[in-house]
Amino acid sequence: MFGKIMFYFVKDNKLEIQFENGKGFIEVIKDDIINVFSPLKYEDHFSRAIEGLKIVKTDFHVNYNNDCLILKTDKLIVKIHDDFKVDFFDKDGKILCEDYREDRKPFIRRGNGKIAEGEGIKIEENFRKYKIEIVKKMQGDEYFYGLGEKTGYLNKRGYYYEMWNTDDPRPHVESYVSLYKSIPFFITLRENASFGIFFDNTFKTYFDMGKENGSYYYFAADDGNLDYYFINGPKVTDVVEGYTYLTGKTPLPQLWTLGYQQSRWSYSPKERVLEIAKTFREKDIPCDVIHLDIDYMDGYRVFTWDKVAFSNHKEMIKELKNMGFKVVTIIDPGVKKDKGYFVYEEGLKNGYFATDKDGIPYVNEVWPGEALYPDFSDESVRRWWAEKQKIMLQDGVAGIWNDMNEPASFKGPLPEDVQFKNDGRPTNHLEIHNVYGHLMSKATYEGIKDYTNKRPFVITRACYAGTQKYSTVWTGDNHSFWEHLRMAVPMLLNLGLSGIAFCGTDVGGFQFDATGELLSRWVQLGCFTPLFRNHSCIHTRDQEPWAFDEKTEEINRKYIKLRYKLLPYVYDLMYQCELTGLPLMRPLFLHYQDDKNTYELNDEFLFGENILVAPILEQGKNIRAVYLPEGTWIDYWTKEEYEGGKYILKEAPLDICPIFIKKGSIIPNFEEQNYVGQKKMNKLILDIYPGDGAYYHYKDDGESFEYKEGKYNLYKISMRLKDTLEINIEKEHEGYDDYEELELIVNNYNGNVVVNSKQYKLNQGVIKLQKEILTKK
């Protein structure tokens, strides 16, 4: 396609290459991040995922040798050949990733098995050539991860996927190649190496991870520019940090957003909402948020309230606030076509809606009937939509839930030629579809931030790479199936590896009917998912924590209370996430990359680096094998110690989710509370698992942006176990209120009980505990 290299030159951080049939660029973003670009559609480099990219001044060298260009940084060697074939090597010359030099050869499907020439042989059904395709040679030892929200298992080798945001309410199974989110990024793990590739293209894209042919894998697109980033490891943690360096890191959320949330389609009328809230408090089950689905609106008109079902809704929100509840309301993009309706009239007057090719506003159908779609690709429309958020915020709403923003439509998909302004680069639906929800989330985030000056809480169903800067996500319309519970673990882990750290599922399942056992096991997983929300569909059986029987209710209470106990640890993980991009839910290989036993664990995960969770994901199961990586691990419930590097069998009756804490860990806890802010947390409780280790604990006001101005505390808590257990707490940064007291809980297997619980002063220096109380008896 490109032909031979004709000449090249270097300017600043870019290598520009002129080929016979076009030009290409190799841009050094950092010494371990390289951009490969060719302006096949647009001359300039335009990205919806990457904003305000900082290019690091990097020394690199370029020379021409043996018919190829060789670019070297301190960490990478890049070889560029004719036809813009690009190969990547580590600094020592080990091949990491190279372009495939032969034609693609798909699997043959023989059908009835005839072998006569031309008979019974069928080419792979989805084999096609793409306008843009990058084919990479399979080295043989690859494991693939990431690609956002996809069905199937953790390792994506041998699978094929498409990036095209899709609302499909049928049960999602492994054959689904696309769901609600498009994140064209994957991580390759090889022996002693790892790297990531981010294909920044918003058109429909395709990822074949060796399904078509085991000799290669490829990524491709229908249109756009050739534009991808190579992100070197060698650690997977380096790759995640590099990818989020490009696309942005999940910002620290308000503390209450990490509590338990209850939702249903729909809690209506307001008396039902208040009944739900009062029942939580009466039954001593913590909860911070109640979500309102589409039936709170007046005829599904966005930014309105049903005047009958939610008469005097401001008083309802005030009453809920007095009980400690926040209200989050759903907002869809579809604006009802309705003369006199203010949102419709404003959008029509100002040309804020997407149009057909003749400039006439495009109309499809969603919940309110005939509806129009705001053109979020245009900055003026985003500003308008941002301003509309204050309608809900003035009423007391605390967060916004964006749904149906793939965009979904009831009368067939939006035609390819629906027109969008695209911030001065007019285009059609093919280019905007995958970023429609991303841009809606951005507008929503900015509107909430401008009005409240607090960290916005936005939840979205559809997204693109980089949406983590603006919104949390959930995995869409799952079902109350055990298979969907099982699938939740690898799906959330891959979302986290893809930059979307603040994510969750509909706990209990959205469609179909949950059982008490399924809800019990799902809430045990939900306790350790960043977004912890129970949500169910209209006409399904009730799914609140108390909806089944006393045993199910007690299990829900137990794990929801455990989540609130662990809130300071969860908040610390979110703080770390803003710094490093590392997710809260982590596959074991993220921290045990040299242990191949961790590469395909689909049913257990790390919560941070200190807690290992191995949930029960099958009906009727009450014992399971748990793989513990190297080190010593302590059963959270019994305090029994296990040496890692092997599988153990763990009994897990219905009320037990297997949880293990790594020896040497320090886990901050909160006192019991029914909602965030119920009381001031003046006591720092440290749950200690004796050994050598250190932990950083973070504290701020939990809601404002003042932490960015230094108004926070950062504590370094060190622990050393020799003749005594020595614990030292130092402030590495001081800018916020201190704790008034400190409580240490030292765990040991000694009659299955805590052997030391004592209160101390926070500033008393090194605390020494006698070793006798730590000895196993």
Has residue 677 got a pLDDT over 80?
A: yes
678, amino acid identity: Q
For residue 128, the model assigns a pLDDT of 87
Antiparallel, parallel or unpaired: β 260-262 and 289-292: parallel
8 Å CB contact between 418 and 355: yes
Model confidence at 635, pLDDT cuts 50, 70, 90, reads: very high
Task: Annotate 164-219 with DSSP letters as a single string.
Answer: ------SPP-TT----SEE--EEEEEETTEEEEEEE---S-EEEESSSS-TTEEEE
Q: Rounded mean pLDDT of the chain?
A: 94
For residue 777, the model assigns a pLDDT of 36
pLDDT tens column, 86-96: 999 999 999 99
Model confidence at 760, pLDDT cuts 50, 70, 90, reads: low
For residue 110, the model assigns a pLDDT of 72
**Residues forming a β-bridge with 5:** 19
Has residue 755 got a pLDDT over 50?
A: no
**Residues forming a β-bridge with 106:** none
**Residues forming a β-bridge with 612:** 606, 660
Has residue 714 got a pLDDT over 80?
A: yes
Model confidence at 398, pLDDT cuts 50, 70, 90, reads: very high
Question: Catalytic amino acids?
Answer: 403, 406, 477
Has residue 445 got a pLDDT over 90?
A: yes
Has residue 117 got a pLDDT over 60?
A: no
> For helices 550-565 and 567-580, what crossing angle results, to 10°?
50
For residue 16, the model assigns a pLDDT of 97
Whole-model pTM over 0.85: yes
For residue 751, the model assigns a pLDDT of 34
Alpha helices for 248-328 (secondary structure H): 270-282, 313-322
**Residues forming a β-bridge with 474:** 504
Average pLDDT over residues 601-620: 98
Element (H, E) at 439: helix 436-452
pLDDT tens column, 161-204: 999 999 998 899 999 999 999 999 999 999 999 999 999 999 99
For residue 764, the model assigns a pLDDT of 59
Average pLDDT over residues 693-698: 97
